Chains A and B, each alone.
Chain A
Amino acid sequence: MHNKCFYFVTIMATSESVTKTIFPAQEAEVSQRDLDWAVVQKVQSGNVGAYDQLVQKYREQIFSVVYNMTSNREDASDLTQETFIKAFQAIARFKGKSSFFTWVYRIAINTTMTFLKKRSRRRFISYENIDEEVSNSEIFERLTAKNQTEKGALINELQEKLNDALQKLSLKHRTVVILHEIEGLEHAEIAEITKTSVGTVRSRLHYAKQQLQGYLKDYLG
């Protein structure tokens, strides 16, 4: 009997370590989810100040998504703030069925989509500055060599072309391509955020990339 228990415990411990080795990302996600849920529970119990931890943790990611969807710095700032205010107002109803990260992303995307649908005309686009790291990157070196242009001019030109190309995509396709290619989210995570199937996400991603290849053909190859 003792031997059986020992073997069982050994097997469980081994399988746990194997799981950790094979699925480190999932484990990290689960732990992040637990950490976020603990903070959410603090906020729900009345510790309003704890909400600031969540804002500090996710503000840059949310801003990035919203900025790439709107291509406007001021709009992105307003919408990111609005997202966190909405999440704060609704946090009492958050049951933890999904991760806080997924939930707040969904709020951000819905808020942005509503804003963009209401906005009939395209507003003046104000860009964020691209880091100097980009200008020293391998891809950028290749682009500079290919186009035989000065780095600064090429950065500005490329930034404008990229934003224009993204704005030409439909909202659904834009969202998927931003979440996957820029934010680096998995298909399953995007499906959960956008409340669609993984197949739909893959299909939209494929279509969006095809469209972008057509818009950005001068820089490709």
Chain B
Amino acid sequence: MSNHTHDSQKEVKVEDLLRMKRSERPDEAFWGQFDQELHQRMLQTLVKKDPVHLQIWRTLSGRFTQSVGVACAAAFLALMVVRPAFIGTGSTSVSVAQDSVVFAEAPLVEVAMSEMDVSSLEATRDYSLEGISAEIESNDASFTRDFGMEGFQLAMDADYSSDAASSRPSFGSTGVATTLVY
């Protein structure tokens, strides 16, 4: 009796109310429909196509890979076939300047050396640089000392700058200047 009285006076707690929600359950008919829908959705998932953005990305990435491959092949062909022909024709001014220097230097070295062996004054008159010509005139025997770093630097400053292509033929034609470069 005392227990009954005690129980009836027992307070209702939050936990008691929340536990009542445990009995809030759907019936069997609900679960039948649930299983059917779930199986259908799982089958759809198995055969479902990828989302549109993934399809687009896959297509673009495939085409990009192909185009990159084609571009690489084209670039390789251009390097192998077109460039040799291009060098042969020498159609641009830069290549002309470079080639003229390359082709002009080899024979001019020989000329210059032969002139040095002779060590005539005629050769020194051709110099436009006073410092070099003065030393050559004063001391012909120390030829190697005359073409030291000072003279080399002077020649470089005066005529062999990158944008002085027009002056190269005149300077190169002296022969000695080519030797200075070397």
- With both chains docked as a complex, state the minimum distance between the C-beta of A177 and any C-beta of chain B, in angstroms: 7
CB of B108 to closest CB in A, whole Å: 76
A181 to B115, CA, bound (A): 110
Cross-chain contact of B37 among A64, A81, A212 (Cβ < 8 A): A81
Q: How far is the CB of B33 from chain A (nearest CB, A)?
A: 8
Residue of A nearest to B24 (CB): A128
Chain A residues within 8 Å of chain B by Cβ, number: 43
* With A81-B37, A129-B24: A138-B17 Cβ-Cβ less than 8 Å: no
Shortest Cβ gap from B47 to chain A (Å): 13
Q: Is A25 an interface residue (CB 8 A)?
A: no
Chain A positions 135 through 169: 1 when the CB is less than 8 Å from some CB of chain B, otherwise 0:
00111101100100000000000110010000000
Q: A22: shortest Cβ distance to chain B, in Å?
A: 26
Count B-side interface residues using an 8 Å CB cutoff: 29
> What is the CA–CA distance of A201 and B8 in the complex, to the nearest angstrom?
32
Residue of A at shortest CB range from B21? A182
Whole-angstrom distance between the Cβ of B161 and the nearest chain A Cβ: 67
Query: Measured between alpha carbons, how far is A60 from B28 in the docked complex, in Å?
Result: 11
Shortest distance in angstroms between A39's beta carbon and chain B's nearest beta carbon? 16
Per-residue CB contact flags for chain B residues 113-146 toward chain A (1 = under 8 Å, else 0) read: 0000000000000000000000000000000000
Which residues from chain A contact B31 at a C-beta distance below 8 Å? 59-60
Given A81-B34, A81-B37, A85-B42: A216 in contact with B20 (beta carbons within 8 A) = no
Q: A85-B45, A127-B24 are in contact. Are A219 and B17 (CB under 8 A)?
A: yes
Min distance, Cβ A105 to any Cβ of chain B, angstroms = 16
B-side interface residues toward A, CB under 8 Å? 7-8, 10-27, 30-31, 34-35, 37-38, 41-42, 45
Task: List the interface of chain A (C-beta within 8 A of B).
Answer: 55, 59-60, 63-64, 67-68, 73, 77, 80-81, 84-85, 88-89, 127-131, 133-134, 137-140, 142-143, 146, 158-159, 162, 177, 181-182, 184, 209, 212-213, 216, 219-221
